[in-house]
Structure 1
Amino acid sequence: MSTVTKEDKYKLLINKLKKLSPFVLAFSGGVDSTFLTAAALDAEVEFEAVTVNTPFVADREINEVEKLVKKLQFEHKEIEVELAELKTALDNTAERCYFCKESIFSKIIDYAGDREVIEGSNLDDTGDYRPGRKALKELQVKSPLLEVGLTKKEIRELSKKMKLPTWNKATLSCLATRISYNDPITAQKLEKIDLAEELMRKNGFEQFRVRDHNNLARIEIAPQERSKILDLNLMDKIHSKLIKLGFKYVTLDLSAYESGSMNKEILEGENE
Protein backbone atom coordinates (compact mmCIF):
# COMPACT_ATOMS: atom_id res chain seq x y z
CA MET A 1 0.00 0.00 0.00
CA SER A 2 1.35 3.40 -1.00
CA THR A 3 2.30 5.78 1.82
CA VAL A 4 2.48 8.80 -0.49
CA THR A 5 -0.18 11.26 0.66
CA LYS A 6 -2.01 13.82 -1.46
CA GLU A 7 -0.04 16.48 0.45
CA ASP A 8 3.21 14.80 -0.64
CA LYS A 9 1.98 14.80 -4.23
CA TYR A 10 1.09 18.48 -3.96
CA LYS A 11 4.66 19.29 -2.86
CA LEU A 12 5.96 17.35 -5.85
CA LEU A 13 3.56 19.31 -8.06
CA ILE A 14 4.83 22.67 -6.76
CA ASN A 15 8.43 21.64 -7.43
CA LYS A 16 7.54 20.40 -10.90
CA LEU A 17 5.77 23.67 -11.77
CA LYS A 18 8.82 25.66 -10.65
CA LYS A 19 10.98 23.61 -13.03
CA LEU A 20 8.53 24.03 -15.94
CA SER A 21 8.16 27.81 -15.57
CA PRO A 22 7.59 29.88 -17.62
CA PHE A 23 4.66 28.02 -19.12
CA VAL A 24 1.22 28.37 -20.68
CA LEU A 25 -1.60 26.52 -18.92
CA ALA A 26 -4.66 25.26 -20.81
CA PHE A 27 -7.53 26.55 -18.68
CA SER A 28 -11.11 25.25 -19.02
CA GLY A 29 -12.42 26.41 -15.64
CA GLY A 30 -13.05 22.83 -14.54
CA VAL A 31 -11.91 21.15 -11.33
CA ASP A 32 -8.49 20.09 -12.61
CA SER A 33 -7.35 23.14 -14.55
CA THR A 34 -8.53 25.48 -11.77
CA PHE A 35 -6.62 23.45 -9.18
CA LEU A 36 -3.53 23.45 -11.41
CA THR A 37 -3.82 27.23 -11.82
CA ALA A 38 -4.13 27.70 -8.04
CA ALA A 39 -1.03 25.53 -7.57
CA ALA A 40 0.87 27.67 -10.09
CA LEU A 41 -0.14 30.78 -8.15
CA ASP A 42 0.98 29.08 -4.92
CA ALA A 43 4.32 28.20 -6.51
CA GLU A 44 4.74 31.87 -7.49
CA VAL A 45 5.93 30.94 -10.97
CA GLU A 46 5.68 32.79 -14.26
CA PHE A 47 2.75 31.49 -16.28
CA GLU A 48 -0.22 32.48 -18.41
CA ALA A 49 -3.54 30.65 -18.60
CA VAL A 50 -5.17 30.20 -22.01
CA THR A 51 -8.76 29.25 -22.75
CA VAL A 52 -9.68 28.10 -26.25
CA ASN A 53 -13.28 29.06 -26.95
CA THR A 54 -14.85 26.76 -29.54
CA PRO A 55 -18.48 25.89 -30.38
CA PHE A 56 -17.77 22.59 -28.57
CA VAL A 57 -17.77 24.56 -25.29
CA ALA A 58 -21.02 25.75 -23.70
CA ASP A 59 -21.35 29.53 -23.30
CA ARG A 60 -21.97 29.14 -19.58
CA GLU A 61 -18.53 27.52 -19.19
CA ILE A 62 -16.83 30.50 -20.82
CA ASN A 63 -18.77 32.79 -18.46
CA GLU A 64 -17.54 30.74 -15.50
CA VAL A 65 -13.97 30.98 -16.79
CA GLU A 66 -14.24 34.76 -16.75
CA LYS A 67 -15.55 34.70 -13.17
CA LEU A 68 -12.67 32.46 -12.02
CA VAL A 69 -10.09 34.73 -13.66
CA LYS A 70 -11.49 37.69 -11.72
CA LYS A 71 -11.68 35.74 -8.45
CA LEU A 72 -8.22 34.14 -8.54
CA GLN A 73 -6.55 37.03 -10.44
CA PHE A 74 -4.12 35.50 -12.90
CA GLU A 75 -2.90 36.38 -16.38
CA HIS A 76 -5.34 34.99 -18.92
CA LYS A 77 -5.87 34.90 -22.68
CA GLU A 78 -8.91 33.67 -24.61
CA ILE A 79 -8.42 32.30 -28.12
CA GLU A 80 -11.44 32.00 -30.41
CA VAL A 81 -11.67 28.98 -32.74
CA GLU A 82 -14.42 28.73 -35.35
CA LEU A 83 -16.24 25.43 -35.93
CA ALA A 84 -14.77 25.03 -39.43
CA GLU A 85 -11.25 25.16 -37.96
CA LEU A 86 -11.87 21.88 -36.12
CA LYS A 87 -12.00 20.16 -39.52
CA THR A 88 -11.66 16.36 -39.17
CA ALA A 89 -13.10 16.41 -35.64
CA LEU A 90 -16.46 17.38 -37.17
CA ASP A 91 -16.71 13.97 -38.87
CA ASN A 92 -17.19 12.64 -35.34
CA THR A 93 -15.40 9.34 -35.81
CA ALA A 94 -14.07 7.37 -32.85
CA GLU A 95 -10.89 9.48 -33.17
CA ARG A 96 -12.77 12.79 -32.80
CA CYS A 97 -11.10 13.70 -29.51
CA TYR A 98 -7.65 13.13 -31.03
CA PHE A 99 -8.31 15.55 -33.90
CA CYS A 100 -9.96 18.09 -31.59
CA LYS A 101 -7.09 18.09 -29.08
CA GLU A 102 -4.57 18.27 -31.91
CA SER A 103 -6.27 21.34 -33.36
CA ILE A 104 -6.83 23.15 -30.06
CA PHE A 105 -3.42 22.49 -28.53
CA SER A 106 -1.63 23.36 -31.76
CA LYS A 107 -3.24 26.80 -31.37
CA ILE A 108 -2.05 27.03 -27.76
CA ILE A 109 1.47 25.88 -28.69
CA ASP A 110 1.69 28.49 -31.45
CA TYR A 111 0.63 31.16 -28.96
CA ALA A 112 3.04 29.90 -26.28
CA GLY A 113 6.13 30.30 -28.46
CA ASP A 114 9.18 29.11 -26.50
CA ARG A 115 7.19 28.44 -23.33
CA GLU A 116 6.15 24.97 -22.18
CA VAL A 117 2.45 24.08 -22.46
CA ILE A 118 0.75 22.20 -19.61
CA GLU A 119 -2.77 20.87 -19.03
CA GLY A 120 -4.87 19.33 -16.27
CA SER A 121 -5.21 15.60 -16.95
CA ASN A 122 -5.05 13.55 -13.75
CA LEU A 123 -4.29 9.90 -12.94
CA ASP A 124 -7.92 8.85 -13.48
CA ASP A 125 -7.77 10.14 -17.05
CA THR A 126 -5.58 7.21 -18.07
CA GLY A 127 -8.67 4.98 -18.01
CA ASP A 128 -11.65 4.85 -20.42
CA TYR A 129 -11.18 5.51 -24.13
CA ARG A 130 -9.18 8.73 -24.46
CA PRO A 131 -7.61 9.26 -27.91
CA GLY A 132 -7.00 12.88 -26.92
CA ARG A 133 -4.17 11.71 -24.66
CA LYS A 134 -2.34 10.48 -27.77
CA ALA A 135 -2.50 13.95 -29.32
CA LEU A 136 -1.17 15.56 -26.13
CA LYS A 137 1.78 13.16 -26.06
CA GLU A 138 2.59 13.76 -29.72
CA LEU A 139 2.52 17.53 -29.16
CA GLN A 140 4.67 17.11 -26.02
CA VAL A 141 2.15 18.86 -23.79
CA LYS A 142 2.95 18.27 -20.12
CA SER A 143 0.38 16.87 -17.64
CA PRO A 144 1.86 17.60 -14.19
CA LEU A 145 -1.16 16.41 -12.17
CA LEU A 146 -0.94 13.02 -13.85
CA GLU A 147 2.86 12.94 -13.53
CA VAL A 148 2.75 13.34 -9.73
CA GLY A 149 -0.05 10.75 -9.49
CA LEU A 150 -2.92 12.94 -8.25
CA THR A 151 -6.39 11.41 -8.62
CA LYS A 152 -9.65 13.29 -9.16
CA LYS A 153 -10.73 12.55 -5.59
CA GLU A 154 -7.48 13.94 -4.21
CA ILE A 155 -7.72 17.04 -6.40
CA ARG A 156 -11.24 17.71 -5.12
CA GLU A 157 -10.10 17.25 -1.51
CA LEU A 158 -7.12 19.57 -1.94
CA SER A 159 -9.29 22.09 -3.82
CA LYS A 160 -11.73 22.13 -0.92
CA LYS A 161 -8.88 22.69 1.53
CA MET A 162 -7.67 25.57 -0.67
CA LYS A 163 -11.22 27.00 -0.73
CA LEU A 164 -11.48 26.82 -4.51
CA PRO A 165 -15.08 27.28 -5.73
CA THR A 166 -14.66 24.40 -8.19
CA TRP A 167 -13.88 21.69 -5.61
CA ASN A 168 -17.33 20.10 -5.99
CA LYS A 169 -18.06 21.26 -9.54
CA ALA A 170 -19.74 18.71 -11.80
CA THR A 171 -17.46 16.91 -14.25
CA LEU A 172 -17.03 18.77 -17.53
CA SER A 173 -16.83 17.46 -21.06
CA CYS A 174 -17.34 19.20 -24.39
CA LEU A 175 -20.71 19.27 -26.13
CA ALA A 176 -19.37 17.05 -28.92
CA THR A 177 -19.25 14.11 -26.50
CA ARG A 178 -23.07 14.15 -26.44
CA ILE A 179 -23.35 13.25 -30.14
CA SER A 180 -23.17 9.58 -31.12
CA TYR A 181 -20.09 8.62 -33.12
CA ASN A 182 -20.23 8.88 -36.93
CA ASP A 183 -23.09 11.39 -36.74
CA PRO A 184 -21.43 14.57 -38.16
CA ILE A 185 -21.21 17.52 -35.79
CA THR A 186 -22.95 20.74 -36.78
CA ALA A 187 -23.48 24.10 -35.09
CA GLN A 188 -27.22 23.37 -34.93
CA LYS A 189 -26.72 20.08 -33.05
CA LEU A 190 -24.33 21.67 -30.56
CA GLU A 191 -26.72 24.55 -29.90
CA LYS A 192 -29.65 22.15 -29.45
CA ILE A 193 -27.72 20.10 -26.87
CA ASP A 194 -26.51 23.22 -25.07
CA LEU A 195 -30.09 24.54 -24.75
CA ALA A 196 -31.38 21.13 -23.65
CA GLU A 197 -28.80 20.86 -20.88
CA GLU A 198 -29.43 24.44 -19.77
CA LEU A 199 -33.09 23.49 -19.40
CA MET A 200 -32.09 20.56 -17.17
CA ARG A 201 -29.99 22.88 -14.99
CA LYS A 202 -32.83 25.35 -14.63
CA ASN A 203 -34.97 22.49 -13.35
CA GLY A 204 -32.52 21.66 -10.57
CA PHE A 205 -30.28 18.97 -12.07
CA GLU A 206 -26.52 19.21 -11.53
CA GLN A 207 -24.78 16.09 -12.89
CA PHE A 208 -26.35 14.75 -16.06
CA ARG A 209 -25.99 14.54 -19.83
CA VAL A 210 -28.40 14.95 -22.76
CA ARG A 211 -27.04 12.56 -25.41
CA ASP A 212 -28.06 12.97 -29.05
CA HIS A 213 -28.51 9.70 -30.95
CA ASN A 214 -29.51 10.86 -34.42
CA ASN A 215 -32.24 13.18 -33.06
CA LEU A 216 -33.20 10.91 -30.16
CA ALA A 217 -32.42 12.56 -26.81
CA ARG A 218 -31.15 10.13 -24.16
CA ILE A 219 -31.08 11.79 -20.75
CA GLU A 220 -28.63 10.40 -18.17
CA ILE A 221 -28.96 11.59 -14.56
CA ALA A 222 -26.59 11.04 -11.61
CA PRO A 223 -27.72 8.36 -9.08
CA GLN A 224 -28.44 10.86 -6.30
CA GLU A 225 -30.61 13.00 -8.59
CA ARG A 226 -32.66 10.41 -10.49
CA SER A 227 -35.66 10.62 -8.19
CA LYS A 228 -36.20 14.27 -9.21
CA ILE A 229 -37.24 13.28 -12.71
CA LEU A 230 -40.11 11.10 -11.45
CA ASP A 231 -42.40 14.11 -11.21
CA LEU A 232 -44.85 13.59 -14.11
CA ASN A 233 -45.39 17.31 -14.66
CA LEU A 234 -41.61 17.81 -14.88
CA MET A 235 -41.32 14.92 -17.33
CA ASP A 236 -43.99 16.45 -19.55
CA LYS A 237 -42.34 19.86 -19.38
CA ILE A 238 -38.87 18.56 -20.32
CA HIS A 239 -40.30 16.39 -23.08
CA SER A 240 -42.24 19.27 -24.60
CA LYS A 241 -39.27 21.66 -24.48
CA LEU A 242 -36.84 19.17 -26.03
CA ILE A 243 -39.26 18.32 -28.83
CA LYS A 244 -39.52 22.04 -29.59
CA LEU A 245 -35.72 22.21 -29.74
CA GLY A 246 -35.78 19.67 -32.56
CA PHE A 247 -35.45 16.24 -30.96
CA LYS A 248 -37.79 13.65 -32.46
CA TYR A 249 -37.88 11.46 -29.35
CA VAL A 250 -36.96 12.12 -25.71
CA THR A 251 -35.92 9.15 -23.54
CA LEU A 252 -34.65 8.61 -20.01
CA ASP A 253 -31.76 6.18 -19.54
CA LEU A 254 -32.82 3.77 -16.78
CA SER A 255 -29.21 3.46 -15.63
CA ALA A 256 -27.52 6.42 -13.96
CA TYR A 257 -25.26 9.01 -15.59
CA GLU A 258 -21.90 7.53 -16.50
CA SER A 259 -18.97 9.50 -17.82
CA GLY A 260 -17.87 8.24 -21.23
CA SER A 261 -21.00 6.17 -21.85
CA MET A 262 -20.72 6.93 -25.58
CA ASN A 263 -17.42 4.99 -25.58
CA LYS A 264 -18.87 1.65 -24.49
CA GLU A 265 -19.28 0.24 -27.99
CA ILE A 266 -15.71 1.19 -28.90
CA LEU A 267 -14.24 -0.38 -25.75
CA GLU A 268 -16.31 -3.53 -26.18
CA GLY A 269 -15.10 -3.80 -29.77
CA GLU A 270 -11.47 -3.52 -28.67
CA ASN A 271 -11.95 -6.30 -26.11
CA GLU A 272 -13.46 -8.78 -28.57
Structure 2
Amino acid sequence: MHNVSTNAARLIERIASFRRVTVAFSGGVDSSVVAAAATRAKLDALVAVTADSPSVPRWQLQWATRIANQIGIAQRVVPTHEGDREEYVRNDTKRCFYCKETLYRTLGQLANHDPTTVLVSGTNADDLGDYRPGIEAGKNASVQTPLADLRLGKQEVRELARFFGLENADLPASPCLASRVAYGVEVTPERLSRIEQAETWLREQGFSDGRVRVHHDELARVEVPSDELPRLLSPPLASELNESLRAIGFRFVTVDLQGLESGSMNRVLVQIGEAQH
Protein backbone atom coordinates (compact mmCIF):
# COMPACT_ATOMS: atom_id res chain seq x y z
CA MET A 1 0.00 0.00 0.00
CA HIS A 2 1.58 3.26 -1.15
CA ASN A 3 1.10 6.60 0.58
CA VAL A 4 -0.44 9.48 -1.31
CA SER A 5 2.81 11.26 -2.19
CA THR A 6 4.21 8.03 -3.62
CA ASN A 7 1.03 7.46 -5.62
CA ALA A 8 1.28 11.01 -6.96
CA ALA A 9 4.88 10.45 -8.05
CA ARG A 10 3.97 7.13 -9.69
CA LEU A 11 1.06 8.72 -11.57
CA ILE A 12 3.15 11.67 -12.76
CA GLU A 13 5.91 9.33 -13.92
CA ARG A 14 3.42 7.13 -15.77
CA ILE A 15 1.87 10.08 -17.61
CA ALA A 16 5.31 11.60 -18.33
CA SER A 17 6.13 8.51 -20.41
CA PHE A 18 3.47 9.51 -22.98
CA ARG A 19 5.09 12.89 -23.86
CA ARG A 20 2.08 14.31 -25.78
CA VAL A 21 -1.29 13.92 -24.08
CA THR A 22 -4.97 14.68 -24.63
CA VAL A 23 -7.01 14.13 -21.46
CA ALA A 24 -10.70 13.17 -21.75
CA PHE A 25 -11.72 15.72 -19.13
CA SER A 26 -15.21 15.72 -17.62
CA GLY A 27 -14.30 17.82 -14.60
CA GLY A 28 -15.04 14.86 -12.32
CA VAL A 29 -12.51 13.88 -9.70
CA ASP A 30 -10.91 11.05 -11.73
CA SER A 31 -10.13 13.00 -14.89
CA SER A 32 -9.17 16.04 -12.77
CA VAL A 33 -6.53 14.01 -10.92
CA VAL A 34 -5.16 12.77 -14.24
CA ALA A 35 -5.08 16.34 -15.60
CA ALA A 36 -3.41 17.67 -12.44
CA ALA A 37 -0.74 14.98 -12.62
CA ALA A 38 -0.25 15.64 -16.33
CA THR A 39 0.50 19.32 -15.70
CA ARG A 40 3.31 18.22 -13.39
CA ALA A 41 4.74 15.73 -15.87
CA LYS A 42 6.67 18.20 -18.07
CA LEU A 43 5.03 16.99 -21.27
CA ASP A 44 5.74 18.25 -24.77
CA ALA A 45 2.04 18.89 -25.39
CA LEU A 46 -1.04 18.75 -23.16
CA VAL A 47 -4.70 19.63 -23.56
CA ALA A 48 -7.90 18.72 -21.69
CA VAL A 49 -10.90 18.10 -23.93
CA THR A 50 -14.40 18.29 -22.47
CA ALA A 51 -17.40 16.82 -24.28
CA ASP A 52 -20.48 18.99 -24.68
CA SER A 53 -23.81 17.34 -25.46
CA PRO A 54 -27.36 17.20 -24.03
CA SER A 55 -26.21 14.36 -21.75
CA VAL A 56 -23.81 16.67 -19.88
CA PRO A 57 -25.43 18.92 -17.23
CA ARG A 58 -24.62 22.61 -17.59
CA TRP A 59 -23.33 22.78 -13.99
CA GLN A 60 -20.87 20.00 -14.81
CA LEU A 61 -19.50 21.91 -17.80
CA GLN A 62 -19.06 24.95 -15.57
CA TRP A 63 -17.23 22.85 -12.99
CA ALA A 64 -14.98 21.40 -15.69
CA THR A 65 -13.92 24.88 -16.80
CA ARG A 66 -13.46 25.98 -13.20
CA ILE A 67 -11.24 22.99 -12.37
CA ALA A 68 -9.27 23.30 -15.62
CA ASN A 69 -8.52 26.91 -14.67
CA GLN A 70 -7.52 25.86 -11.17
CA ILE A 71 -5.18 23.18 -12.52
CA GLY A 72 -3.81 25.52 -15.16
CA ILE A 73 -4.41 23.16 -18.08
CA ALA A 74 -5.50 24.27 -21.56
CA GLN A 75 -9.10 23.18 -22.15
CA ARG A 76 -11.17 22.65 -25.27
CA VAL A 77 -14.93 22.11 -25.09
CA VAL A 78 -16.18 20.21 -28.14
CA PRO A 79 -19.61 18.95 -29.24
CA THR A 80 -19.65 15.17 -29.58
CA HIS A 81 -23.01 14.52 -31.34
CA GLU A 82 -23.55 11.00 -29.96
CA GLY A 83 -27.27 11.80 -30.12
CA ASP A 84 -27.03 11.59 -33.92
CA ARG A 85 -26.33 7.85 -33.68
CA GLU A 86 -29.35 5.55 -33.85
CA GLU A 87 -27.52 2.91 -31.76
CA TYR A 88 -27.10 5.43 -28.95
CA VAL A 89 -30.67 6.76 -29.07
CA ARG A 90 -32.27 3.30 -28.89
CA ASN A 91 -30.48 2.80 -25.57
CA ASP A 92 -29.68 -0.88 -25.34
CA THR A 93 -27.12 -2.20 -22.86
CA LYS A 94 -24.24 -0.97 -25.07
CA ARG A 95 -25.33 2.68 -25.11
CA CYS A 96 -22.26 3.71 -23.12
CA PHE A 97 -20.04 1.96 -25.67
CA TYR A 98 -21.48 4.01 -28.55
CA CYS A 99 -21.21 7.21 -26.53
CA LYS A 100 -17.55 6.67 -25.60
CA GLU A 101 -16.76 5.47 -29.12
CA THR A 102 -18.07 8.80 -30.41
CA LEU A 103 -16.11 10.72 -27.76
CA TYR A 104 -12.81 8.99 -28.47
CA ARG A 105 -13.31 9.34 -32.22
CA THR A 106 -13.76 13.09 -31.68
CA LEU A 107 -10.64 13.26 -29.51
CA GLY A 108 -8.72 11.27 -32.09
CA GLN A 109 -9.72 13.67 -34.84
CA LEU A 110 -8.46 16.59 -32.73
CA ALA A 111 -5.09 14.86 -32.37
CA ASN A 112 -4.79 13.80 -36.03
CA HIS A 113 -2.20 16.45 -36.73
CA ASP A 114 0.15 14.47 -34.49
CA PRO A 115 -0.32 10.69 -34.37
CA THR A 116 2.06 10.48 -31.39
CA THR A 117 -0.53 12.15 -29.15
CA VAL A 118 -1.86 9.74 -26.50
CA LEU A 119 -5.50 9.81 -25.37
CA VAL A 120 -5.82 9.43 -21.60
CA SER A 121 -8.95 8.84 -19.50
CA GLY A 122 -9.76 8.91 -15.80
CA THR A 123 -10.84 5.26 -15.60
CA ASN A 124 -9.82 4.02 -12.15
CA ALA A 125 -9.22 0.51 -10.82
CA ASP A 126 -12.67 0.24 -9.20
CA ASP A 127 -14.37 1.04 -12.51
CA LEU A 128 -13.06 -2.25 -13.90
CA GLY A 129 -15.31 -4.21 -11.55
CA ASP A 130 -18.58 -2.65 -12.79
CA TYR A 131 -20.46 -3.09 -16.07
CA ARG A 132 -18.94 -0.31 -18.16
CA PRO A 133 -19.05 -0.87 -21.92
CA GLY A 134 -17.33 2.50 -22.37
CA ILE A 135 -14.10 0.91 -21.15
CA GLU A 136 -14.24 -1.46 -24.13
CA ALA A 137 -14.58 1.53 -26.46
CA GLY A 138 -11.53 3.06 -24.80
CA LYS A 139 -9.49 -0.07 -25.38
CA ASN A 140 -10.51 -0.13 -29.03
CA ALA A 141 -9.30 3.48 -29.36
CA SER A 142 -6.01 2.76 -27.52
CA VAL A 143 -6.97 5.11 -24.69
CA GLN A 144 -4.51 4.94 -21.80
CA THR A 145 -5.84 4.51 -18.25
CA PRO A 146 -3.01 5.43 -15.85
CA LEU A 147 -5.17 5.31 -12.70
CA ALA A 148 -6.37 1.79 -13.44
CA ASP A 149 -2.91 0.70 -14.61
CA LEU A 150 -1.46 1.71 -11.24
CA ARG A 151 -4.37 0.02 -9.41
CA LEU A 152 -5.59 3.31 -7.98
CA GLY A 153 -9.24 3.07 -6.94
CA LYS A 154 -11.84 5.62 -5.83
CA GLN A 155 -10.39 6.12 -2.36
CA GLU A 156 -6.83 6.65 -3.60
CA VAL A 157 -8.07 9.02 -6.30
CA ARG A 158 -9.90 11.17 -3.72
CA GLU A 159 -6.71 11.26 -1.64
CA LEU A 160 -4.74 12.36 -4.69
CA ALA A 161 -7.31 15.08 -5.43
CA ARG A 162 -6.82 16.46 -1.92
CA PHE A 163 -3.04 16.10 -2.29
CA PHE A 164 -3.18 18.17 -5.49
CA GLY A 165 -5.46 20.70 -3.75
CA LEU A 166 -8.38 20.23 -6.14
CA GLU A 167 -11.68 21.94 -5.31
CA ASN A 168 -13.69 18.92 -6.47
CA ALA A 169 -11.88 16.40 -4.23
CA ASP A 170 -15.12 15.59 -2.37
CA LEU A 171 -17.57 16.28 -5.19
CA PRO A 172 -19.98 13.32 -5.60
CA ALA A 173 -19.58 11.30 -8.78
CA SER A 174 -21.96 12.40 -11.52
CA PRO A 175 -22.23 10.08 -14.53
CA CYS A 176 -23.79 11.45 -17.70
CA LEU A 177 -27.53 12.12 -17.77
CA ALA A 178 -28.11 9.31 -20.27
CA SER A 179 -27.17 6.82 -17.55
CA ARG A 180 -30.44 7.77 -15.81
CA VAL A 181 -32.58 6.46 -18.70
CA ALA A 182 -33.78 2.86 -18.37
CA TYR A 183 -32.53 0.47 -21.05
CA GLY A 184 -35.01 0.33 -23.92
CA VAL A 185 -36.31 3.87 -23.34
CA GLU A 186 -34.98 6.17 -26.06
CA VAL A 187 -32.40 8.78 -25.09
CA THR A 188 -33.70 12.09 -26.42
CA PRO A 189 -32.68 15.70 -25.72
CA GLU A 190 -36.13 16.29 -24.19
CA ARG A 191 -35.75 13.45 -21.67
CA LEU A 192 -32.23 14.52 -20.79
CA SER A 193 -33.45 18.07 -20.22
CA ARG A 194 -36.21 16.86 -17.90
CA ILE A 195 -33.68 14.84 -15.89
CA GLU A 196 -31.36 17.83 -15.59
CA GLN A 197 -34.20 20.10 -14.44
CA ALA A 198 -35.40 17.53 -11.88
CA GLU A 199 -31.92 16.97 -10.44
CA THR A 200 -31.41 20.73 -10.27
CA TRP A 201 -34.60 20.92 -8.20
CA LEU A 202 -33.17 18.32 -5.77
CA ARG A 203 -29.94 20.31 -5.40
CA GLU A 204 -31.90 23.50 -4.80
CA GLN A 205 -33.72 21.77 -1.94
CA GLY A 206 -30.35 21.11 -0.32
CA PHE A 207 -29.90 17.37 -0.96
CA SER A 208 -26.24 16.40 -0.96
CA ASP A 209 -26.66 14.12 -3.99
CA GLY A 210 -29.47 12.73 -6.09
CA ARG A 211 -30.51 10.92 -9.23
CA VAL A 212 -33.71 11.05 -11.22
CA ARG A 213 -34.06 7.83 -13.20
CA VAL A 214 -36.51 7.66 -16.11
CA HIS A 215 -38.48 4.49 -16.82
CA HIS A 216 -41.19 3.60 -19.34
CA ASP A 217 -44.28 5.81 -19.44
CA GLU A 218 -42.22 8.79 -18.22
CA LEU A 219 -42.00 7.45 -14.67
CA ALA A 220 -39.39 9.28 -12.60
CA ARG A 221 -37.67 7.22 -9.87
CA VAL A 222 -35.95 9.59 -7.46
CA GLU A 223 -32.90 8.51 -5.45
CA VAL A 224 -31.30 10.48 -2.63
CA PRO A 225 -28.91 9.22 0.08
CA SER A 226 -30.80 6.92 2.47
CA ASP A 227 -30.24 9.16 5.48
CA GLU A 228 -31.90 12.04 3.59
CA LEU A 229 -34.99 10.02 2.60
CA PRO A 230 -37.10 11.05 5.63
CA ARG A 231 -36.83 14.72 4.68
CA LEU A 232 -37.73 14.06 1.04
CA LEU A 233 -40.74 11.98 2.05
CA SER A 234 -42.00 14.43 4.67
CA PRO A 235 -44.76 16.93 3.95
CA PRO A 236 -44.83 19.36 2.33
CA LEU A 237 -41.62 18.46 0.43
CA ALA A 238 -43.02 15.17 -0.93
CA SER A 239 -45.96 17.04 -2.47
CA GLU A 240 -43.63 19.68 -3.88
CA LEU A 241 -41.48 16.95 -5.42
CA ASN A 242 -44.50 15.40 -7.12
CA GLU A 243 -45.85 18.70 -8.38
CA SER A 244 -42.48 20.00 -9.58
CA LEU A 245 -41.48 16.86 -11.49
CA ARG A 246 -44.91 16.51 -13.08
CA ALA A 247 -44.71 20.14 -14.15
CA ILE A 248 -41.36 19.35 -15.78
CA GLY A 249 -43.05 16.63 -17.84
CA PHE A 250 -42.93 13.35 -15.91
CA ARG A 251 -46.23 11.46 -15.72
CA PHE A 252 -45.50 9.53 -12.54
CA VAL A 253 -43.13 10.28 -9.66
CA THR A 254 -41.81 7.69 -7.22
CA VAL A 255 -39.06 7.64 -4.59
CA ASP A 256 -36.70 4.65 -4.33
CA LEU A 257 -36.80 3.56 -0.68
CA GLN A 258 -33.40 1.90 -0.99
CA GLY A 259 -31.82 5.31 -1.38
CA LEU A 260 -29.13 6.47 -3.77
CA GLU A 261 -27.29 3.61 -5.46
CA SER A 262 -24.64 4.18 -8.11
CA GLY A 263 -25.42 2.17 -11.24
CA SER A 264 -28.85 1.08 -10.03
CA MET A 265 -30.06 0.85 -13.64
CA ASN A 266 -27.72 -2.13 -14.02
CA ARG A 267 -29.86 -4.23 -11.66
CA VAL A 268 -31.82 -5.32 -14.70
CA LEU A 269 -28.69 -6.71 -16.38
CA VAL A 270 -28.88 -9.74 -14.09
CA GLN A 271 -32.40 -10.42 -15.30
CA ILE A 272 -31.36 -9.91 -18.91
CA GLY A 273 -28.51 -12.36 -18.46
CA GLU A 274 -30.75 -14.93 -16.82
CA ALA A 275 -33.30 -14.60 -19.64
CA GLN A 276 -30.60 -15.35 -22.21
CA HIS A 277 -29.62 -18.65 -20.57
TM-score, length basis structure 2: 0.93
2:70–2:166 CA contact under 8 A, matched in 1: no
Residue 90 of structure 1 aligns with which residue?
Answer: 89
Task: For 2:82 and 2:106, locate their aligned partners in 1 and report how far apart those are by CA, in whole Å.
Answer: 14
The 3-state SS of whatever aligns with 1:43 is coil
1:23–1:112 CA contact under 8 A, matched in 2: no
Task: For 2:76 and 2:22, locate their aligned partners in 1 and report how far apart those are by CA, in whole Å.
Answer: 10
Residue 67 of structure 1 aligns with which residue?
Answer: 66
2:83–2:188 CA contact under 8 A, matched in 1: no
Residue 203 of structure 2 aligns with which residue?
Answer: 201
Residue 233 of structure 1 aligns with which residue?
Answer: 236
Change (3 A) 1:146 1:248: same
1:52–1:78 CA contact under 8 A, matched in 2: yes
Report the RMSD for the aligned CA atoms in angstroms. Answer: 1.5
1:173 and 2:175 correspond: yes
Task: For 1:31 and 1:268, locate their aligned partners in 2 and report how far apart those are by CA, in whole Å.
Answer: 32
Shift of 1:83: 5.3
1:83–1:187 CA contact under 8 A, matched in 2: no
Q: Deviations over 1:153-201 (max 9, x none)?
A: 1111221232211110011101111111011111111111110000000
Runs of 4+ in 1 over 4 A off after TM superposition: none
Q: Deviations over 1:114-145 (max 9, x none)?
A: 21100000001011211111111111111111
Task: For 2:19 and 2:233, locate their aligned partners in 1 and report how far apart those are by CA, in whole Å.
Answer: 51
Of 255, 258, 263, which aligns to 2:261? 258
Task: For 2:136 and 2:83, locate their aligned partners in 1 and report how far apart those are by CA, in whole Å.
Answer: 22
TM-score, length basis structure 1: 0.94
Task: For 2:225 and 2:251, locate their aligned partners in 1 and report how far apart those are by CA, in whole Å.
Answer: 24
Shift of 1:268: 4.4
2:221–2:254 CA contact under 8 A, matched in 1: yes
Q: Deviations over 1:81-138 (max 9, x none)?
A: 3354344111100110011110111100111122110000000101121111111111
Shift of 1:15: 0.9
1:112 and 2:114 correspond: no
Task: For 1:8 and 1:99, locate their aligned partners in 2 and report how far apart those are by CA, in whole Å.
Answer: 36
2:178–2:187 CA contact under 8 A, matched in 1: yes
Task: For 1:149 and 1:9, locate their aligned partners in 2 and report how far apart those are by CA, in whole Å.
Answer: 10
Identity %: 31
The residue identity in structure 2 corresponding to 1:236 is S
Task: For 2:137 and 2:32, locate their aligned partners in 1 and report how far apart those are by CA, in whole Å.
Answer: 22
Task: For 2:173 and 2:93, locate their aligned partners in 1 and report how far apart those are by CA, in whole Å.
Answer: 21
Residue 125 of structure 2 aligns with which residue?
Answer: 123
1:6–1:150 CA contact under 8 A, matched in 2: no
Residue 138 of structure 1 aligns with which residue?
Answer: 140
Q: Which runs of 5+ in 1 are unaligned?
A: none
The 3-state SS of whatever aligns with 2:236 is helix
Q: Which runs of 5+ in 2 are unaligned?
A: none
Residue 156 of structure 2 aligns with which residue?
Answer: 154
Task: For 2:125 and 2:80, locate their aligned partners in 1 and report how far apart those are by CA, in whole Å.
Answer: 28
